[in-house]
């Protein structure tokens, strides 16, 4: 299957995963959820990968080339550890609505850094498709209403930092697939990213002396329902979502993949209506259609360019 298909599947899984993670915030803090979901994901993937691929536990570490460990590890540090920290901080300081507007910078960051790191580029039609998608996402974000919409320098810089880290993280992951003789499965690649990100976050928790509060809050008796939501969100959004994201990145351009991943809020619209009966306004629907149209243009960019060239050849000069 194509990388575009896996990209859309990734966006759908992340959109579904939003809802159990949102419910889990009633029981755990945002920072604790970030650590716990990565820890749970490692526990899920560590036995699954050897069983699925016929490997031993030591093979998880030794069958991957050092360069792949380097680039996937850096991708986990930048995209999952640092990027998610900035995301949670931005939500706290400027709200979800304003943060989602700045998140549209991620495809541009992937396009810019992909040009220098992986020598990737898009034709004019592809860049136009990205701009159309981002325009639709920005309009959609402007339709959302938060109870409070504070604006401050820290929130803005962290929102921009989150978007840039997401874009760079995808490019670094793409680098692990370029000119490598050793193939790596998407679940294995996701496991490396998650493991390195988890180790970095645990190291930070130890230095900041937050391990004891984390353990104390995690194992409260009344957290049973919270654990159900957290386990569901981790399986859908983190384990499956990140694995299919790696499958998409291995097949297509980083900026294209990141743009498709950005459709999460679009795909969340019908899900929010289905689960919570949230009203879909005409402005939100039209913005979603613009974003989807941009992705369609992006996916069919080469065919559109070829059609334009063939049409131009018949025009009189």
Residue 291: closest CA among 104, 102, 103, 136: 136
Q: Please indicate, yes or no, if residue 308 is contained in any of the structural domains.
A: no
- The domain tally of the chain equals 1
Residue 241 CA to residue 264 CA, distance in Å, equals: 11
Task: Check pLDDT > 70 for residue 316.
Answer: no
31/9: higher pLDDT: 9
pLDDT mean over 55-65: 84
Residue 310 counted as domain residue: no
pLDDT in tens, 76-109: 999 998 988 888 788 777 766 677 778 888 888 8
Q: pTM for the whole thing?
A: 0.86
Is 306 inside a domain boundary? no
**What one-character DSSP code corresponds to residue 221?**
G
Summarised one tens digit per residue, pLDDT across range 223-257 is 778 889 999 999 999 999 999 999 999 888 888 89
| Comparison of pLDDT for 294 and 93, the residue scoring more | 294
Asked whether residue 314 is assigned to any structural domain, the reply reads no
Helices marked H in the chain: 3-24, 30-53, 59-62, 66-75, 83-102, 105-117, 124-143, 153-175, 186-207, 211-218, 224-233, 241-249, 254-261, 264-276, 282-299, 301-313
pLDDT surpasses 60 at 149:
no
pLDDT in tens, 177-218: 886 656 788 999 999 999 999 999 999 888 888 888 777 777
Nearest to 286 by CA among 269, 271, 303: 269
Q: Whose CA is closest to 104, among 137, 139, 79?
A: 137
Residue 143 lies in a domain: yes
* Higher pLDDT among residues 195 and 151, named by residue: 195
Q: Grade residue 307 by pLDDT with cuts at 50, 70 and 90.
A: low
Range of the structural domain that residue 51 is part of: 3-301
Residue 305, Cβ density class (10 Å: 0-12 exposed, 13-18 middle, ≥19 buried): middle
Report the pLDDT value the prediction gives residue 248, as an integer from 0 to 100: 93
317 domain residue, yes or no:
no
Question: Looking at residue 317, what is its pLDDT?
Answer: 52
pLDDT for the residue 97: 66
What does pLDDT average to over the chain? Answer: 84
Can you tell me the mean pLDDT for 286-308? 79
Residue 241 phi, psi (nearest 5): -60, -50
Inside any domain, residue 307: no
pLDDT 10s digits, 249-264: 988 888 889 988 888 8
pLDDT score recorded for residue 255: 86
């Amino acid at each position: 299957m194509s990388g575009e298909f896996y990209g859309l599947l990734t966006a759908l899984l992340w959109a579904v995963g939003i809802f159990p993670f949102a419910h889990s915030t009633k029981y755990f803090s945002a920072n604790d959820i970030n650590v716990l979901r990565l820890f749970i994901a490692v526990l899920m993937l560590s036995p699954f990968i050897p069983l699925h691929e016929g490997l031993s536990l030591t093979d998880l570490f030794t069958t991957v080339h050092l360069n792949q460990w380097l680039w996937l590890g850096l991708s986990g540090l930048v995209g999952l550890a640092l990027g998610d920290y900035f995301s949670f901080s931005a939500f706290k300081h400027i709200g979800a609505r304003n943060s989602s507007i700045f998140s549209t910078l991620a495809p541009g960051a992937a396009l810019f850094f992909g040009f220098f790191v992986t020598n990737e580029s898009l034709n004019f039609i592809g860049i136009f498709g990205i701009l159309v998608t981002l325009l639709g996402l920005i309009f959609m974000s402007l339709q959302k209403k938060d109870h409070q919409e504070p604006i401050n320098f820290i929130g803005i810089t962290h929102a921009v930092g989150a978007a840039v880290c997401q874009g760079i993280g995808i490019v670094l992951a793409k680098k692990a697939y370029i000119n490598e003789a050793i193939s790596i499965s998407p679940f294995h690649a996701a496991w490396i990213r998650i493991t390195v990100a988890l180790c970095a976050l645990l190291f930070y928790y130890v230095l900041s002396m937050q391990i004891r509060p984390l353990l104390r809050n995690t194992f409260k008796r009344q957290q049973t329902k919270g654990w159900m939501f957290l386990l569901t969100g981790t399986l859908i959004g983190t384990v499956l979502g990140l694995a299919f994201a790696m499958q998409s990145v291995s097949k297509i351009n980083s900026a294209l993949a990141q743009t498709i991943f950005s459709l999460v809020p679009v795909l969340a619209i019908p899900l929010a209506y289905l689960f919570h009966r949230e009203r879909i306004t005409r402005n939100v629907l039209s913005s979603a259609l613009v974003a989807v149209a941009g992705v369609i243009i992006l996916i069919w960019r080469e065919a559109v360019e070829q059609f334009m060239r063939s049409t131009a050849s018949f025009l009189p000069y």
